[in-house]
Chains A and B, each alone.
Chain A
Amino acid sequence: MASPARQPIRIFGKGPWSLLPAQTWSVLTDLFLFAGGLAFFYGILVLARSWFGPFNPHVEISRDASHLPLYAAYSLLRIAIAYVLSLAFTLVYGYIAAYNARAERIMVPLLDIFQSIPVLSFLPGVMLAMVALFPHRQLGVELGAILLIFTGQVWNMAFSFYSSLKSIPRDMREAAKIAGFSWYQRFVQLELPYSAIGLVWNSMMSVAGGWFFLMACEMFVLGSNDFRLPGLGSYLQTAAGAGDTQAIVWGIATMIAVIVLIDQIVWRPVIAWSEKFKVEQVESSDAPRSWFLDLMQSSRLLVRFRKRVLHPVRERLSLHFASQHISGEASPPQPWKVWLGRIIAALAMLAVIYASVRAIGMMTELGRSEYRQIAEGAMATFGRVLIALLLGSLWTIPVGVAIGFSPRLARIAQPLAQIAASVPATALFPVVLLLLIRIGGGLGLGSVVLLLLGTQWYILFNVIAGAMAIPTDLKEAAALFKFNSGQRWRRLILPGIFPYLVTGLVTASGGAWNASIVAEYFRLKDHTYTTLGLGATISRATDSGNFPLLLASTVMMALVVVMVNRLVWRRMYRLASSRYTLDI
């Protein structure tokens, strides 16, 4: 329990609310839950009707603010479905990678590669495939968007789950083994709880990334096809295209409201709840709390549901798997299963070989001038990413350190920064671009601003965390030795925040490469703004349906990202963890 002095501010329970008796509260909570459930089902129905409706190549996006709730619901549902898919994939992939030594050798490096591929360049391929699959239904485009978000958010979750599984302490594993846990019991009582915290944090990051991609892919042009999905992203693009300031403000306000709401009723409760999965010897004094979680836990409806439904089901499952485990212990591995596995592996291998041969064939179609364009573009984008990182560091390091050193400032600035950071940069792109055009700047510099918009927050939050982690006694020692401000920065602050800064820069650099695809090439109304860059090459190839160029430029970007990771960031990490760690 938190000590009374550090009680978090709770919206309910104190103040005028406490005039209501507790009984009334839990009835109100139940009513609220009931209404929430009703609204949810209604929403699903409405969406399903649209999904299974006929394919409409020219969905008109209304700029009327009254459509915003529906658009927000559409976008949210896409994110939610993609997230559920990602979670399911994560559990399966992580499990196999962690327990099958042979698969592990392929699956883990594969994660690294997939993480480096710019997701947005998948867009055309995925879209075309899905539309071909459901040619007469809106479903195809929807599935394309969902799959795209899925590929954007799944890898870090899978990696987190895999590494959690690998780092379960040996003693805990042995305790489960010697007690004879079935795989189900091991999963729910050891593996899932142990990976819960990592999964929760990575889920939050993934969903934030999901918004980024969703905003970009709700409205785009591929060759002669104009794909539009009703949603917040398409609303903002339409509003910016029309120069409708009022609609832009409404759209951004809705976006912020949705994100704050999700934070309050999904992530905060989940974080507070997942606190119990922390592997710690002593209870931490200020554990995160959530008013929504408290509210839910006071609901009699939910308590009853847990007791009557959840518990019996769980009990049944555990006993079922336990008895199966005990009786089926000595069964030898069936030979047909082994063979099936081998056949599948062989087929997969053949498919990979075939696809890569075809891909290489495709890339040889390109002429020298196109390759030169790719190489020049890569250099230009590289420079832009570098400048964005530099500019980002220049303002975030002093600001982040100031916030991290002053608890008073942190209380005010951190929530604000969190809200600002949670707005997906792609949602702001059309707006910022509109401003840039009015000022008269070209996209060459403008795209740097756009990259900065998406990536500076990673650096800021890490710098704040790093500054907060510098021990007080080191600060006191610096004060005692009368360090001047130069010495303070060189000897104390910069080395202290270094590991955090590296983490922030790695994430920011990955994000910047990905964002370059939308930042260097932009269609607003009937005008296309573009500049030299690899991202622009990818987008232009997408736009004109030039698949060989798209493939080659995507491969180039993945290569550059992997190279930079290997040659620069990994070394920085090693330096950070060997020389600049604070734990001795």
Chain B
Amino acid sequence: MPDVIIQARGVEKYYTQPDGNRIEVIAPTDLEVLPAQIVALLGPSGSGKSTLLRILTGLSKPSAGHVLWHGQTMDGQIPNVSIVFQSFALFPWLTVLDNVEAPLVARSVGAVERHKRALRMIDTVGLDGFETAYPKELSGGMKQRVGFARALVVEPEVLFMDEPFSALDVLTAENLRSELLELWLSKKMPTKAIFIVTHNIEEAVLLADRVIVLGRNPARVRADFRIDIPHYRDRKAPRFLAYVDYIYKILTRPMEVAEAPGKSVAMSGDGQPRERTKFQMLPHARPGGIAGFLELLVDRSGRDDLYKLAEQLSMDADDLLPIVEAAELLGFAVLREGDVEITPDGRTFAEADIQSQKAIFREAALKHVAILRLIENTLHAKRDHAIGEEFFRDILDEHFSAGEMERQFETVLNWGRYAEIFDYDSESGRLFHREDSDVLPVKEEA
């Protein structure tokens, strides 16, 4: 295809551990950025979306595979692309004007011309009057407008956005989104394509012409489809909701992929079942959150659409999905076609009092969670019923990247302590059995 702007061919990212064991973060992936499209890259947090974005811009090198720019293999940065960051990444010591001018300075644009272009762009994003303000004097929404102005002032061929609205409150985000869309649709924006990374399903369906859904551990493209609803889209329209529901379905069903409501462009599949690792990846949900979610589900007669639940709770998919996955993992709920349904075990758990809840949780956790079972057995086998955390960290380390390992361990601690499977002393970093341990550290009254 001659008019593909950026193309990723079999890009991969992995970390090699000292013992030669490879932790794969991104599985071999093909991706392309086409002109006149808004592409949304959607996936749960920690799925490697941002890494993929950095590979596509050339900021980060893939471990294998190539990135092509207009059919040309690129070794470093892609010329003339911009990024809008979740954290804004403005330079706090520069005024709004200097921030927007900075990329032009880097391109050797003279002072007069630079000034003119920066002012025009500041005007476009609706910040005229704030040229001499410093970023810290601005609200979050206005800061991100500066971020947009700085990215757009160089007239980038592709505008990359890394969760640009996640740090903003709901109303500000909505306002900025619609203005962005307006600039894009009215062609006031001098870019050929937009590539947005997000974990917000509705945001993706609202903005994108094409959505790419990423799976986790390692990241791989699970679905790649068009959204053919004309702009501006109505969030309450049945077709809109059908897309949202569909994406929930993909995200909650690792194995099977349903038919897209529209025409599906490509279905880079996950047809083959994932090889079963010895220790499953735990969703990062807290026991209290799981209990609360199940109680809500009981109130809603035990079954509901995921997107409706998310709306009811005003939660992002990113926050809700781990809870749902955890409930499913523990056998408290099952997922059917984007619906979640409570199981009899789940109902007992939701309706129990605090102490029995712990007992039920403990039983379910030991039954379904391999690492907790291992901890329980190890502690029983040890004579002093205590063991350093490093032992379990090392085990997790063989399955997950360093950052993910930390999160996994934190979740294991959360669940295990709640279920009273073990106790944990953070100072010595030891796990131990509560009742029958003789190493219980005697703490001074804290």
Contact = CB atoms under 8 A, between A and B. Distances in A.
A425 to B, nearest CB: 37
Contact of B77 (A178, A281, A323): A178
Contacts of B81: 178
Contact of B83 (A175, A193, A319, A322): A175
Interface string A222-261: 0000000000000000000000000000000000000000
Contact of B108 (A169, A278, A281, A322): A322
Of B81, B102, B137, most A-chain CB atoms within 10 Å: B102
Interface of A: 169, 171-172, 174-175, 177-182, 185, 189-190, 193, 196, 276-283, 315, 318-319, 322-323, 325-326, 578-579
A326 B79 CA distance: 11
Contacts of B90: 175
A169 B59 CA distance: 15
A322 B106 contact: yes
A280 B136 CA distance: 7
B110 interface: yes
Interface string B71-95: 0000001000111011111111110
Interface residues of B, number: 32
Contacts, number: 81
A435 to B, nearest CB: 45
Given A171-B89, A579-B427, A178 B108 contact: no
Of A171, A185, A282, most B-chain CB atoms within 10 Å: A171
Contact of A174 (B85, B134, B150): B85
A193 to B, nearest CB: 4
A174 B83 contact: yes
Contacts of B110: 319
B68 interface: no
Contacts of A177: 59, 77
A182 B136 CA distance: 26
Contacts of B86: 171
Contact of B136 (A282, A318, A323): A282
B154 A174 contact: no
Given A182-B106, A319-B105, A281 B136 contact: yes
In the A-B complex, list the 10 residue pairs whose CB atoms are closest, starting with the nearest.
A179-B103, A171-B89, A175-B89, A193-B93, A180-B106, A322-B108, A323-B108, A171-B85, A283-B136, A171-B87
A127 to B, nearest CB: 42
Contacts of A579: 427
Contacts of B134: 276, 283
23 contacts: A171-B85, A172-B89, A174-B54, A174-B83, A175-B83, A175-B85, A175-B89, A175-B90, A177-B77, A178-B57, A178-B83, A179-B102, A179-B150, A185-B102, A185-B105, A193-B91, A196-B93, A276-B93, A276-B134, A315-B111, A319-B105, A578-B427, A579-B427
B87 A318 contact: no
Given A181-B106, A193-B93, A277-B92, 4 more contacts: A178-B77, A179-B150, A181-B102, A579-B427
Contacts of A578: 426-427
Interface string B103-117: 101111011000000
Interface of B: 54, 57, 59, 77, 81-83, 85-94, 102-103, 105-108, 110-111, 134, 136-137, 150, 154, 426-427
Contacts of A282: 136
B91 A189 contact: yes
A171 B164 CA distance: 12
A322 B89 contact: no
A458 to B, nearest CB: 28
A281 B177 CA distance: 22
Contacts of A323: 108
A223 B92 CA distance: 56
Contacts of A315: 111
A179 B85 contact: no
Contacts of B107: 180, 322, 326
B85 A326 contact: no
Of A169, A174, A196, A279, most B-chain CB atoms within 10 Å: A174
Contacts of B137: 283
A278 B105 CA distance: 23
B72 to A, nearest CB: 14
A199 to B, nearest CB: 13
Contacts of A179: 82, 102-103, 106, 150, 154
Contact of B89 (A174, A182, A189): A174
Contacts of B83: 174-175, 178
Nearest to B76: A329
Nearest to A327: B108
A574 to B, nearest CB: 10
A506 B150 CA distance: 45
Contacts of A281: 136
Of A178, A282, A315, most B-chain CB atoms within 10 Å: A178
A169 B88 CA distance: 11
Contacts of B89: 169, 171-172, 174-175
A565 B94 CA distance: 40
A182 B103 CA distance: 10
Nearest to A323: B108
A177 B103 CA distance: 10
A319 B93 contact: no
Contacts of B154: 179
A278 B106 contact: no
A190 B88 CA distance: 15
Given A578-B426, A578-B427, A579-B427, A180 B54 contact: no
Nearest to B94: A189
A578 B103 CA distance: 41
A440 B203 CA distance: 82
Given A578-B426, A578-B427, A280 B92 contact: yes
A478 to B, nearest CB: 14
A322 B108 CA distance: 6
Contacts of B82: 178-179
B57 A277 contact: no
A281 B168 CA distance: 13
Nearest to B111: A315
A354 to B, nearest CB: 35
Nearest to A179: B103
A193 B150 CA distance: 19
A282 B94 CA distance: 15
Contacts of B93: 193, 196, 276-277
A189 B90 CA distance: 11
B59 A174 contact: yes
A282 B77 CA distance: 33
A288 to B, nearest CB: 15
B59 A178 contact: yes
Nearest to A279: B92
A280 B91 CA distance: 11
